[in-house]
Amino acid sequence: MSTFRSRLFAATTRPIWYVYSGANLPIETQFRRFKSSTSASRSRRASQRRRQRSHPALQQQDDRPKKILFQSLGCPRNFVDTEVMLGITVAEGNMEITQDINQADVVVVNTCGFLESAREESRTAIQDMIDTKKSHSKLLVTGCMVNLKRQQEDILTNFPGVDAILPSGEIDSVMDTIHRLDQNGKDDQSTRTRSKTSHSTKFEEQQHSTTTVEGPSSRGHRKSFLEAGDTPRFLATPPHYAYLKIAEGCRKQCSFCIIPKLKGRLQSKPVDQIVDEFQAILQHGTAKEVILIAQDLGDYGKDWQSRRHSESSQNDRSGSKGHGKSHLTQLLEAMLESVDQSTDSQSPEDDPLWIRLLYLYPDEITPDLLDLMERDPRITRYVDLPIQHSHDDILKAMRRKTTGDQIRETILQLRQRLPDICIRTSLMVGFPGETEEHFQHLLDFVREERLDNVGVFVYSNEEMAYSSRFDGHVSEEVKQDRYDRLMQAQWSVVEQKNKKWTAERKWLRVVVEGLKEGDPYKIVGRHAGQCPDIDGQVFLEGEPRVFAGERYWVEVTGYDGYDLIAKVLGDKEELYE
């Protein structure tokens, strides 16, 4: 489960600022373009000729490129897909990104669809774009909300202003879709019938036109974008961090979740491709933090056994020396080794790279992964460990692989091996059959385990989820009451921790993010135990001489809700002397 967010591209999306003595200067270029292969070095002139030959209709009558606006909804995985489409439309379509709906010739809404609340947010965004865009502008809807036939039909029926639909598994063909729109006004292929989900057809049944990537999933069929390593991507995050998606789809069968139906089976990227993308992020920008994402990082590589290439044919970076280790551990070791071998991507010992792990299920915390995290500080002391519940009855009904005792043991091992680790989790209240006794068990768990960051979700009865067939559905009033009580219990945990850190005047290493939204005089940062967008922040007192993207030692002086207040202990240069 993820925090939902809406982003309108380009320059207003989480603006990046240089911060100096309270003044702010916008960085001229919000998006950083890179490719993960040598194709990124093609000459600009040749590239422009190719674009114009491929998509001549995308030029205005006065020969100016068309302008495109993106809105991204949902989780970081969706956000990466938007970055890919940004890169494709600019690099291959010769289009310009705009944030002004009145200037946009093409509007793209990247939707989220795994909960009804997310789908409703997506529908609202679509209608808003229909109401505000220019009459001749084209509207393209993509994302996991439109991956299933019933959802496509719903959009096309209820939103006649939508000109095309592009399932999330087909985002590498975004320019082809836009080209058809420009020629025909509507994309006839958007109404074609699909069996099951788009990823089960388009991912495997069509030949990819430009890219071949050798790896464990090579079948001679069209590769999904997931494996198209030289497709351009624009990094739309602040320059000091970026997301790196290592897999798509899911092999788990949680009874409350429809993600496997939306995203399809697990498909892991080859190690070589991930390492190349990782190096591209480090070398083509100022990123000091790379956030690994997937539906479950711990499942990485587990789909390879069922593919034509056996595990023994994996590339050298994950070869025999990793025997007995999980694929995730081998991947992390390959990434770290690439940093050690590259002088361009090495960071100073006193300011190491942060590699952050999101969405790692408790049953996937392996001893070899703990060993690596313990010996290499570049793997951030942070883990997002979605457990959903603590009571065995509910965990079994959810089809989770761990018991309550196993979850507690995993947390204990993490804290024993990594005493300074911050643990985030997601919990669910109101699952069918959850009694007050079950809920009290969850309350006790939160109070006893004292996790650092907790997101609480109210059970959403999804028609396609297996749990929709269950008896014992909980009323909305009871769900809300349990949500409020659980959030209050977690707030008590956070407040006690914040008070302790304030009393201790705890020192933290904080990266400066920029200025607080809506407050041009407040500088915001976060420490290693805070993930962008989903966790708390650190507000810096006064007007310290700091720069966005740089890290500083701070001293905690107070707190404001879930956020900390701290003062900078000195300039970076002074602290390092």
Average of pLDDT values for 63-85? Answer: 89
How do the residues of the chain divide into helix, strand and coil, expressed in percent and rounded to 5? 40, 20, 40
Query: Scanning the structure block, which residue is given the tokens 């006839």?
Result: 188
Q: What is the 3-state secondary structure (H, E, C) of 438-468?
A: HHHHHHHHHHHHCCCEEEEEECCCCCCCHHH
Least confident stretch, 16-30, 45-59, 79-93, 300-314: 16-30
Question: Tell me: domain 503-576, CATH 2.40.50.140, correct?
Answer: yes
The share of the chain scoring above pLDDT 90, in percent, equals 59
- Evaluate whether 313 touches 216 at the Cβ level (below 8 Å): yes
Least reliable range by pLDDT among 146-160, 523-537, 547-561? 146-160
Q: How far apart are CA 532 and CA 38, in angstroms?
A: 30
- Cα 140 to Cα 106, 143, 386: the distances in Å are 8, 10, 33
Q: Which has more pLDDT, 194 or 93?
A: 93
Domain 225-430 is found in CATH 3.30.230.10? no
Q: Of 544, 547, 573, 572, whose CA–CA distance to 557 is shortest?
A: 544
Measured between alpha carbons, how far apart are the two ends of the chain, in Å?
Answer: 44
- 31-194 matches 503-576 in fold: no
310 pLDDT more than 60: no
Q: Is 50 exceeded by the pLDDT of residue 102? A: yes
Distance CA 1, CA 459 (A): 11
Q: Is the pLDDT of residue 317 over 70?
A: no
Residue 393 has pLDDT above 50, yes or no: yes
332 pLDDT more than 90: yes
183 pLDDT exceeds 90? no
Report the CATH fold assignment for 31-194.
Rossmann fold (3.40.50)
Residues of the chain above pLDDT 70, percent? 74
Confidence of residue 352 (pLDDT cuts 50, 70, 90): confident
422 pLDDT above the threshold of 70: yes
100 CB neighbour count, 10 Å cutoff? 11
Give residue-wise pLDDT tens across range 357-383.
Answer: 999 999 999 999 999 999 999 999 999
Average pLDDT over residues 350-355: 83
pLDDT tens digits, 231-279: 678 888 999 999 999 999 999 999 999 999 999 899 999 999 999 999 9
pLDDT in tens, 34-50: 454 433 333 333 344 33
What angle in degrees, to the nearest 10, is found between the helix axes of 149-158 and 116-132? 40
Residue 230's pLDDT band, with cuts at 50, 70 and 90, is low
Q: Is the pLDDT assigned to residue 207 strictly greater than 60?
A: no
Question: pLDDT tens digit string along 487-505?
Answer: 999 999 999 999 999 999 9
Alpha carbon distance 253, 327 (integer Å): 21
What confidence tens digit (pLDDT) does each residue in 539-571 have? 999 888 899 999 999 999 999 999 999 999 965
- What are 454's strand-pairing partners? 425
**What is the overall mean pLDDT for the chain?**
80
**Looking at per-residue confidence, does 396 or 13 come out higher?**
396
CA separation for the pair 274, 292 (Å, rounded)? 10
Q: What residue spans define the domains of the chain?
A: 31-194, 225-430, 503-576
How large is the average pLDDT for residues 497-526? Answer: 91
